Structure 1
């Protein structure tokens, strides 16, 4: 039997697309590798929890403070006002989403995607079944490529799909203690230090009984494991049990094209939709899965492949401005330790703190306080021109906590 849509990938993006399509009564198959857990800090904003109906049982920790740490060790604690940042463990969160998609009627298959063949007008997805090892074929009308930053679907079927810029992320999931040393189970720490990452950042994110400690970089020659060891030592987490280690590419720029104009559309990491500067991806992956599903529904209803373009159009309508601002921030502040020091200094500013987390919680740029935007813009220019000392403010004593201000 021919499926309406085959979704390649069962992470938050693919599982969301499969769930949405199955709920609309479409015949959907979801193909996913078993056992793969993406390295991820696990932060999710309240809007994700609300928009995608995530039960509280999936939230392993609720964070009320973000701490920025500069190359010189200066700390800025940013309280999260009127809310919290939820933390999920990808090992369990992704499986929850896959099970929910299957419960809605999606045909969940475990295997490795090989290629898309074409018999006549319709695509045929070919994958290697994990249980039997046999090549298996699924006839379908449409394909959603939600198979990550090095997407086989993108490389084979979408023009430009092989050229996604990315950083390599590595983290260690550890058995977390209670509050000890520099570690606070109610606070996320983000470390801007060229000794940890010359072009991105390091993190220590609590996950309830466990914690994610890691970093990312796009530079060759950086010892990711040594940098993570240094993060653990600085936080007093050296002796904690290591539960698992994970690494993967994290894309940093959306592709210019997400479909092949015929029968394939990309979503999530495969389309490059991880936020610059912060590396935040779970929310944008799930939105990407949802808009890809909407695009497929339109094609199935009309028979017109041109509607595959709707996925990128809908995503960029809501998030293009945020991605542009975050990209500019990364280009401006991540290039040297002097710039990183200035960035942490800027995070002292109350306007920056409030607007940052309002934007993070609601996933849109805040427009309500124009004078605050003007003040922030002026301070940005002053820092980038060197008119303000990089360490011109007093560091916060090591006691509060939080997530990355750009998320």
Structure 2
């Protein structure tokens, strides 16, 4: 059978894209081995909650804010106008995948080995079979497949594990010059993790890869689109990945629908997500936080300066969609 769209990956990018396409009447196939637990802190950020709300099925704990540390310096941001949630990522993914299936998507539990772009279709080779489709969405995270198809090639190695300790109501992040570590409260325990650009940290736990340095150069091709982690849509500074995954999957589905109906081309995908995702501000902040002296100044300023504390809160929660020039000058002047 030839499908209108094959969606590779059953995470938030893939499941929400598939649900949208199936609901619009397109024959949609989701391909995912469904055999791995996602190494993810599992946070629905304030931006996600404002746009999509939450479902108690997968919520573990409501978060009050974030605590940021560097060496012996510790700062706390208690959200004034926002709320975030710690979730069970496995339950969240299962819920979203079932929503897509209920909308009419078909699921094949299989691993995609390669994709060949032909003039009028894409040929998808899996471990079990060969599947043709008019178009594809690659939402398989940081993987061999996404790298072959132009996906992110810059990533950090992370390991996370469960600790049986009393959870607090704050997401905690310890900033390191060569990486970072985190602690996320769950219902009756915490999840701790560490990342490094040089290789997996020497500790037990679930392993995964986190994209760094922002989106890839090209997120579209003649017959497929890259979404979620595969496209580099992750901001470690914000602890943000799920929102970008879901929204990019939705945008990909909308652009594909328009392409099938002759209203636009796949290149419109890039202009759409660039209009919504402000990775330029995040790249600027990452460049500023480029050495230990500035990282130390950053954490101390959050702790000691109310205006700076509020500015970082606005960046993290997207309370203000864009920083104005005055805010940017204040940020730079404070740190440098």
Answer whether TM exceeds 0.5 for this pair. yes
Match of 1:327 in 2: 283
Distance in 2, matches of 1:343 and 1:123, equals 48
Q: CA deviation at 1:363?
A: 6.9
1:97 match: secondary structure: helix
- Residues 218-239 of structure 1: CA deviation (Å, up to 9, x unaligned): 135xx6135x8xxxxxxxxxxx
Q: CA deviation at 1:355?
A: 3.2
Aligned pair in 2 of structure 1 residues 219, 315: CA closer, same or farther (>3 Å)?
Answer: same
Distance in 2, matches of 1:146 and 1:13, equals 6
1:301 to 2:261 alignment? yes
1:256 to 2:217 alignment? yes
Contact 2:101 2:107 in 1 (8 A): yes
Match of 2:44 in 1: 44
1:316 to 2:274 alignment? yes
1:277 to 2:277 alignment? no
TM-score normalised per structure 1: 0.76
Q: How does 1:125-136 map to 2 (within 5 A)?
A: 125-128=124-127, 135-136=128-129
Contact 1:185 1:208 in 2 (8 A): no
Contact 2:251 2:273 in 1 (8 A): yes
Contact 2:219 2:226 in 1 (8 A): yes
Aligned pair in 2 of structure 1 residues 106, 163: CA closer, same or farther (>3 Å)?
Answer: closer
Q: CA deviation at 1:138?
A: 2.2
Distance in 2, matches of 1:148 and 1:142, equals 18
Distance in 2, matches of 1:300 and 1:343, equals 48
Aligned pair in 2 of structure 1 residues 162, 297: CA closer, same or farther (>3 Å)?
Answer: closer
Aligned pair in 2 of structure 1 residues 318, 375: CA closer, same or farther (>3 Å)?
Answer: closer
Match of 1:361 in 2: 317
Aligned pair in 2 of structure 1 residues 339, 362: CA closer, same or farther (>3 Å)?
Answer: closer
- Residues 365-394 of structure 1: CA deviation (Å, up to 9, x unaligned): 345xx5xx636623532432xxxxxxxxxx
Contact 1:319 1:364 in 2 (8 A): no
1:188 to 2:171 alignment? yes
Where structure 2 has 5 or more consecutive residues not aligned to the other structure, the ranges are none
Aligned pair in 2 of structure 1 residues 99, 287: CA closer, same or farther (>3 Å)?
Answer: same
Where structure 1 has 5 or more consecutive residues not aligned to the other structure, the ranges are 129-134, 179-183, 229-244, 385-407
Q: Indicate the structure (1 or 2) with the bigger Cα radius of gyration.
A: 1
Contact 1:351 1:376 in 2 (8 A): no
Distance in 2, matches of 1:339 and 1:109, equals 48
Q: CA RMSD in A?
A: 2.4
Match of 1:340 in 2: 295
Match of 1:396 in 2: none
Match of 2:251 among 282, 291, 313: 291
Contact 1:190 1:202 in 2 (8 A): yes
Aligned pair in 2 of structure 1 residues 19, 310: CA closer, same or farther (>3 Å)?
Answer: same
Match of 1:403 in 2: none
Q: CA deviation at 1:109?
A: 1.3
Q: CA deviation at 1:250?
A: 1.0
1:90 to 2:89 alignment? yes
2:143 match: secondary structure: coil
Distance in 2, matches of 1:54 and 1:319, equals 21
Match of 1:200 among 179, 192, 215: 179
Contact 1:151 1:270 in 2 (8 A): no
Match of 2:135 in 1: 142
